[in-house]
Structures are given as structure tokens and as C-alpha cells.
Amino acid sequence: MEAKIIKGYSPERLFAFFEEITKIPRGSGNEAGIAAWLENFARERGLYCVKDEVNNVFIKCPATKGYENEPAVLLQGHTDMVCEKNSDVDFDFEKDPLDIYIDDNGFLRARGTTLGADNGVAVAIMLSLLDGELSEHPALECLFTVEEETGLDGAKAFDYSLVGAKKMINLDSENDGEVIVGCAGGTFQRVSLSLDRVDFNGVALRISLGGLMGGHSGENINSGRANANKLLGRALLEIGTACPFNLVSISGGSKDNAIPREAEAIVAVSDAVHFEKVASDVIAKIRGELSDEDSSFFMRIEKADSAEKMATKASTDKICGFISSVQNGVIAMSTNIKGLVEFSRNLGIITTDGDTVNFIFSTRSAIDSQLDFAERELGSLASLLGGSMEKLGRYPGWEYARVSPLREKFFAVYRSLVGKDPESNVIHAGLECGIIKSHIPDMDIISIGPGMRDIHSPDEALDLASLERTWKVVCGLLK
């Protein structure tokens, strides 16, 4: 297999496999195509392969000569990617191949969309190993899971009786020179609030907010990046104190685990000129509070088509008040690990469905009692406002192991190849390691990966030289 775009990097087969999977649509919930491709890949090479009913794929490769008595190693990553694009980009994630290119700094990107390096790099590394790129290795077990980005559902559904290995390398980390040794758990909730409506009256205006950086709701939650949903709620609340309006609809974000970059509302006003003047003052105030990463922020107001109905003033105030007051972002920092976010919440998605506004939250913590509290808190708020809260899913954290021979070996291999010690971290983002560890308690696990930037956003970028280093480290571990 030959790389067409990612040239000059080694091994070429690794980068060619990555290129190949960028042509296969694989958003969360749409992994049937990549699963069939993986199954065919294994069949062509005569490898043991199981594709389960949710499209997880498990492939085994026998040990090379001289390694028959070495214990097997499990390598793991997910096939799905977050599908985010800029609003001005015409792209269909259900059928279009990604338009990839290398920028002037040696980073691989996709034009106007997410790249899917999270977690396409894991898929490419495992494919290269299964294809024989490494001539010396123990028996390999490669697990390709699905729907990681929407709740780790593939890892939850997999039959772990198929796994024989007791050492596992997860390939879903995004920082070069770092080994992840623990992560937070998480829970997802939907809060639904009803709208009382009356006949439409006045002028319809569309308020569009965007230009924000966004990012991963675990990795970037403490970076100071604004949440578009929260920002729109705050703007509407402030505007409404000086210029009353009635909400027609509100929406924002598309993924619960991505910090939303865009949001919009349609409102009914009696005096459009006055509304725009008040809004202009609010926008200027908000812009002065944002970080440099959100310097492209904008909020536009334009006329919209009139609707048949609009929310009452009481319902409007309820929705704007809820968005503005519900906790979002970092809730608590760890008291044991300096700089580690312990407890956070992301208001990832808002939709208006008929006479109901739905809010999707992703809450993260390594402490189960905090996740329990988060669910009760949202349930209480919803109940007070005459709404409801539904639990959409939950996954366990991965607790730091004081003793890990695999971690120690990683340090030795990395030191010998790179000439310095890597960092060892527990992260606030969720990984499938916690689920796998809950099924195989004596599994020794580390998580590594190449350097990436701005995952879960259209600015996602993969450091290609870093992927070369990660490949060498994986090979060193296996040899």
C-alpha cells in the first residue's frame, strides 16, 4: 500500500493505512463501513477475526518465530470519529471522503472538518502491525471498538471472554511524550423543558453566535474556551432585561462531548431597532471577556421568517434562566493531583423539538459520588422548572495502578528511543480503559498516542513526526 498525500514519513504503510481510512465515513453510529473493511482486511490475510453485532471488530495475529512463549498483548482503539465541520463547508459525513492536506508545520489536517486522527491513528497502527510491518512480536490481539465518542458503547457491548491478553496498550491519547495511567468516568443526561406557546406577534429575528474555538469537553474544559450554548443563554438573558422578547426556538452544538462552537435562537420582538442596539452593547461586553483562542467570536442578528407560534414570556424566561444558571465547565479541581480537573460539566447540545427544549449534558468525574450528585442536581433543577431529566448513559473511570510492569517498560523504551523521560498523567477525559479494566481486573494498561491539536473541532491537526515516534515506541514495547 502506498501513501498518496502523506509522503516522506516512515513506515509508509502506516501513513498509507491512515489515508485509506479517511476515505471511509465513520462517524459515531455509522461504523458499518469501516467494520466491513476491517473484516475483509483480516480475511484477505487469513487472520482470526470476529465482528460483533454492534460492529466492534477483534483481530488476532500469531506471534512471530521466537516469540511463541511470550504473553499476548492487546492493542485497542476506536473506529468512530467526531463529525464536526465549519458552517460554511458543504460536506456530508455520511458519504464524503475527508479532504486531507499537510500544512507548513508538518501537521495533517482536513479542510473545514474534523480529521478523525482521534482515533484513526490507533486503527492505522494496528493495521500496520497486523499487516506484518513489525517482524518480531508476541501474539497480538487488536480490538477496534465503536461509538466511543458518544458514550463508549462499543466497549460496553464487547464480549471480553475473547481476550486472552493481560497487557494492553490503548492508543487513544493525544499528547506526545506522555503516558496516561488513569482517567475520569462520566455520565450523560437529557433535561427537557416544555414551552407554553401563544400566537406569533411582532418581528422575527435570528441571532447567530459562532467563531468560537470549541474543543474536547474533557481535554479542553479548563482552557478557558467559551461554550456557545452558555454564551447565547447569557446574551439572551442580558438583552431581555432591557428589551423583552419571546423565544421561538433555540439550538446549539452537535456533540455532547464537544464544547459547542455555534448556537442560534429565533426570537419575536416588538421593536427590532431597539433590540439590535441593546444586543450590540451586550455583544461588545461579552467579546471583551473572551480568551484569545475565541478571538473570532461573532454574534449576528438578521430578520427571519415569521412563525405560527412563539413561547410565552414566562417560558422564554425559564429557558434563558436555566441556560444561564446551570453549572458548566470546571466544577472542582483535584485536591490530590495538581492541575487535574476532577469534576466538570459540558452543555453540549440544545435542540427545540416542537413545544420542548432539550439540553444534553456530559458530566465527568473520577469520583462516583460526584457523578451521582450531578444527576440529582440536574433532576432537581428540571423538576423545579416543570421539566424532566433522563439518564442517557454512564461509564466507569480507570483508577491509577501503583504497580504496572507495562508502564515501567514504556518508560524504559521511551527513554532509550527519545533520550528523556516521558510524563505520566491521569486525565479528565474518558477512555475505554475503565470499561475494559472492569471486565478484566488484572489487565495491566497504559494509554499512549501521537501529538494532536484541537480534536473534536474542524481545526483538528495531527503531528506526523510525532506519529512516527509513537510507532517506534509501540514497536519497542512489543519487541
Q: Which residues are catalytic?
A: 80, 148
Measure Cα distances from 192 to 127, 139, 247, 350, 357 in Å.
43, 49, 16, 10, 6
**Alpha carbons 317 and 71: distance in angstroms, whole number:** 62
**Alpha carbons 244 and 415: distance in angstroms, whole number:** 63
Of the candidates 359, 43, 57, which has an alpha carbon nearest to the alpha carbon of residue 230?
Answer: 359
Record the cell numbers describing residue 129, joined without a space.
Answer: 502491525
Please name the residue that has the C-alpha cell 508538518: 106
**Alpha carbons 286 and 337: distance in angstroms, whole number:** 33
**Alpha carbons 6 and 462: distance in angstroms, whole number:** 11
**How many Å is the maximal CA-CA distance in the chain?**
81
CB of 244 closer than 8 Å to CB of 315: no
**Alpha carbons 464 and 414: distance in angstroms, whole number:** 18
Indicate the residue type of 20: E
> Packing angle between helix 228-242 and helix 272-287, nearest 10 degrees?
130
CB of 462 closer than 8 Å to CB of 121: yes
Q: How far is CA 308 from the centre of its chain?
A: 37
Report CA dihedral (185, 427, 114, 222) to the nearest 10 degrees: 100
Instruction: Give me the sign of the Cα torsion angle 129, 132, 138, 144.
Output: positive
- Cross-strand partners of 186: 364, 395
Rg, C-alpha atoms of the chain: 24
CB of 371 closer than 8 Å to CB of 437: no
Q: Are strands 356-365 and 185-194 parallel, antiparallel or unpaired?
A: antiparallel
